[in-house]
Amino acid sequence: MGIIRASTIPNPRISRRTFVQGIGTAAAATALGGSFAGDARAAGPLMWYSASSVESVDGWAKMYKEKTGNTVEYFRTGGVKLAQRFAQEAQAGQAQCGPIDVSIPGLMSQWARQGLLMEYDSPEAAHYPDDIRMKGFWTPIKALVCCMAYNADVIKPEEAPKHWEDLLDPKWKGKLVTADAFSSGATLHWFGALRSAYGKEFMEKLAAQDVLVKQGSGETTDTVVSGERPVAAMILQYYVFGEIDKGANLNVVFPEEGLPISYEVIGISKDAPDPEGSKKFVDFALSKEAQTSWQKTYYTPSMRDDVEPLSREHGRRPLSEVKRIGSSAADLDKLFEEQADLLDAWGELFK
């Protein structure tokens, strides 16, 4: 089961700022390298495009083969690069993939409205909340939970922040870390959601706390584990529990007022080479069995209503008990429309 390398994507160094201004349009497709010459599609194994981790994608591919006897090959890379590739192919009417998952729900909605996605409402989708999916086009395959976290070897639980506004306490100045919104879509979502909920002044005060900005959630987690900056103002839950599983003494914080939660969402290209195979794979991805497997192995919560929630430990609670801030499909569509302005605002405060 090979992986197609990201180096095959035209113009991979395009900035996120430029990307969010034009991706999904014909102009963007041209800017990203133009159309492919001829129709390179050919009959063969189902092709899945994914922005999820290599390990999780390969695990599902093997599980699907064992369950159905059918092979699914995959192209796996980061969300921005994956979107570049798909937009280029789709605008040329030469999609190479059937199923596609990305961590930018608003972009998937835009593609649906532009007619680039197949309309298919999987029977499995009925197990997911209506307000976090675009009926007939995309459904979440995992929740990306934006929470706080802290190093319990450095910070006592009773002294740790409990609410988002606690981060503004002067005692946390110089002790906070987060990922960069220019490289992390989750951070941009968190920034936009909390800025909307608490106002611009909240983010201005947070920026004044001398927050260390790292490249991504992996570096952010490492910084908390080392104790260099013992509190993450925002971090993805699954990174924290990956380190806890390795022995790190970390806790997450789920404020009572709620959390921004984004989603990895799956849909199907309108011009999928294998439409029926693509539908079967989406049914599998949304099934209880596949969702349970991913959640248990990779710590990414499922939004499916009959999947047993992750255990209560290290500050984690079931998402059914958590208020979602700025996290509906409508909220995420609005966030996508405002991304360029939000990136400008982020840059002024944290760069």
SS (H, E, C) 185-225: HHHHHHHHHHHHHHCHHHHHHHHCCCCEEECCHHHHHHHHH
Q: Do domains 6-142+264-313 and 144-260+334-350 have the same CATH topology?
A: yes
67: alpha, beta or left, given left = phi > 0 and alpha = psi -120 to 50?
A: alpha
pLDDT at site 159: 98
pLDDT at site 23: 53
pLDDT tens digits, one per residue of 78-96: 888 899 999 999 888 888 9
| Orientation of helix 329-337 relative to helix 185-198, angle to 10° | 100
Whether residue 43 has pLDDT greater than 70:
no
Residues 41 and 127: their CA atoms lie apart, in Å, by: 34
Token look-up 């529990």 returns 241
Give 40's pLDDT tier (boundaries 50, 70, 90). very low
Separation in Å, CA 17 to CA 33, 195, 249: 17, 19, 36
- The mean pLDDT of 176-201, rounded to a whole number, is 96
Tokens of 275: 């439409």
Percent of the chain with pLDDT strictly greater than 90 = 81
pLDDT at site 96: 94
Residue 198 annotated as binding? Answer: no
Report domain extents, the chain. Answer: 6-142+264-313, 144-260+334-350
pLDDT at site 309: 96
Nearest to 106 by CA among 337, 342, 324, 340: 337
Give 30's pLDDT tier (boundaries 50, 70, 90). very low
Q: Is the whole model's pTM more than 0.95, yes or no? A: no
Nearest to 26 by CA among 110, 102, 134, 147: 110
Instruction: Considering only the C-alpha atoms of the chain, give the largest distance between any 2 of them, rounded to a whole number of Å.
Output: 63
Give 195's pLDDT tier (boundaries 50, 70, 90). very high
Percent of the chain with pLDDT strictly greater than 70 = 87
Exposed e or buried b for every residue in 121-146, given b needs 16+ CB within 10 A?
A: ebebbebbeeebbbeebbbbbbbbbb
Which numeric CATH code is attached to 144-260+334-350? Answer: 3.40.190.10
Whether residue 41 has pLDDT greater than 70:
no
- Within 13 Å of residue 123, how many CA atoms lie on the same side as its CB? 1
How many residues would you count in the chain?
351
Tokens of 337: 């429309």
Type of residue numbered 333: D
Give 21's pLDDT tier (boundaries 50, 70, 90). low
Residues 342 and 200: their CA atoms lie apart, in Å, by: 11
pLDDT at site 18: 54
pLDDT at site 91: 82
Beta strands in 160-307, from DSSP E residues, in sequence order:
176-179, 212-214, 231-236, 250-253, 261-268
With a CB cutoff of 8 Å and minimum separation 6, the contacts of 162 are 253, 255, 256
Tokens of 86: 């798909």
Which numeric CATH code is attached to 6-142+264-313? Answer: 3.40.190.10
Residues 197 and 209: their CA atoms lie apart, in Å, by: 19
pLDDT at site 20: 56
Residue 49 annotated as binding? Answer: no
Can you spell out the DSSP letters for 9-50? SSSTT--HHHHHHHTTSHHHHHHTT---SS----S-SEEEEE
- The mean pLDDT of 27-37, rounded to a whole number, is 37
- The mean pLDDT of 304-314, rounded to a whole number, is 97
Helix (H) or strand (E) holding 73: strand 72-76
pLDDT tens digits, one per residue of 90-146: 888 888 999 999 999 999 999 999 999 999 999 999 999 999 999 999 999 999 999
Whether residue 8 has pLDDT greater than 60:
no
Averaged pLDDT score across all residues of the chain? 89
Residues 228 and 125: their CA atoms lie apart, in Å, by: 43
pLDDT tens digits, one per residue of 209-237: 999 999 988 999 999 999 999 999 999 99
